[in-house]
Amino acid sequence: MEPPLFPRESGQFVAERSQDVFVEEEGVQKVAELLCALLGSDELCASGWKKANPLAPAPTSDQAFNWVFVVDTMNFSFWPDEETRQCEVTFRGVTHTGYMTLCAAITRAIEEGVPITDPKFFSQMTVDELAHILRSDNETSMPMIQERHQVLTEGGRVLLQHGGSFRSFISRAGNDARKMVELVVEKIPSYRDEAVYQGKRISLYKRAQILVADYWAVAAARGDADFVNIDWLTMFADYRVPQALVYLGALRYSDALTRTLKSGELLPPGDRREVEIRACSIWAVERIKSRLAELARQRGSGGCGVNSALIDFYLWPYAKKHHREMAHIPVHHTRCVYY
């Protein structure tokens, strides 16, 4: 079987053929200018990872790497069936929703003495044990507990087969980001985020790429970021970043797609429209990265050194921060383990 296109090539392939999602160069320029003003700041720096992940263990702790693996392995599908009924986790006096409920729940478990970052534990944990760890403060449970249990125990068994920790497992790929993604996708089935678009196998690899990017960011925060091919990573195609790209004008949805999303229609995994939203988001960020590099050169900054992962690390919190201003832009919904 022919291997799938890698995410960057997949993004370009889909963007050149897309029927309902379009990359807008005027918006691409706008986002590039926004980011250019932030060059050199912590907001576009891998070593700022701890600031962006305040619930994670200190990056100097080896536990941080396994924490990243546990969280990224279960990093999917947090949106509620009803917007007014969200899973909530209150931790250290702050009530969290969405993805942050997972981060809060895992760190809460650590403080309660549960060895949730130990593959020997989470490879054999029961569904009930995981449900207790991920328990909500209200009557709305975190979605897809069975699926989260399946992918986490599966991932834990893989780590035990390859050294017993995420760091020992990923070190098999050296410090090569591309090889790391390939290793994760090869060994752990739940990370194989692939689809078929107009007869071509493509890949989006949201969780595999963010897993490698988070590993790199923790290493950078430790002062050990001597990685190669980090620029090979693309953005991490999910729900919120596409919404931010539409809001900023770098993406445009057709009227038909906008109506469909506003109606609340669930898009099945692999649906043409779902693939176009995610793949065109990848290509939009690639265009932003290219324009940002041009702007940096024009302004005498040399190579700006900002890759697609760092752009994503900026856009996701941006989307959360500006969610009220962006509320008129519909977010697509697809239930799956890939994002």
pLDDT for position 321: 93
Q: How far, in Å, CA of 298 to CA of 132, rounded?
A: 54
The 10 Å Cβ neighbour count of residue 9 is 16
Task: Using pLDDT thresholds of 50, 70 and 90, give the confidence band for residue 164.
Answer: very high
Mean pLDDT of the chain: 94
The token pair at 306 is 């900002």
Per-residue pLDDT of 100-118, as tens digits, reads 999 999 999 999 999 999 9
Q: Which of 65, 309, 53 is nearest to 205 (CA)?
A: 309
Concatenating the DSSP letter of every residue in 53-122 gives -TTSPPTTSTHHHHHHHHHHHT------SBTTB---EEETTEEE-THHHHHHHHHHHHHTT--TT-HHHH
Per-residue pLDDT of 242-257, as tens digits, reads 999 999 999 999 999 9
Q: How far, in Å, CA of 202 to CA of 3, rounded?
A: 8
**Percentage of the chain modeled with pLDDT above 90:** 85
Helical pair 240-247 and 272-298, crossing angle rounded to 10 deg: 60
Find where tokens 């995610």 sit. 278
pLDDT for position 226: 83
pLDDT for position 48: 65
pLDDT for position 50: 67
Task: Using pLDDT thresholds of 50, 70 and 90, give the confidence band for residue 24.
Answer: very high
Q: How far, in Å, CA of 338 to CA of 205, rounded?
A: 8
φ/ψ (deg, to 5) at 49: -60, -45
Across 31-39, average pLDDT:
94
Per-residue pLDDT of 265-295, as tens digits, reads 999 999 999 999 999 999 999 999 999 999 9
Catalytic residue positions, numbered: 238
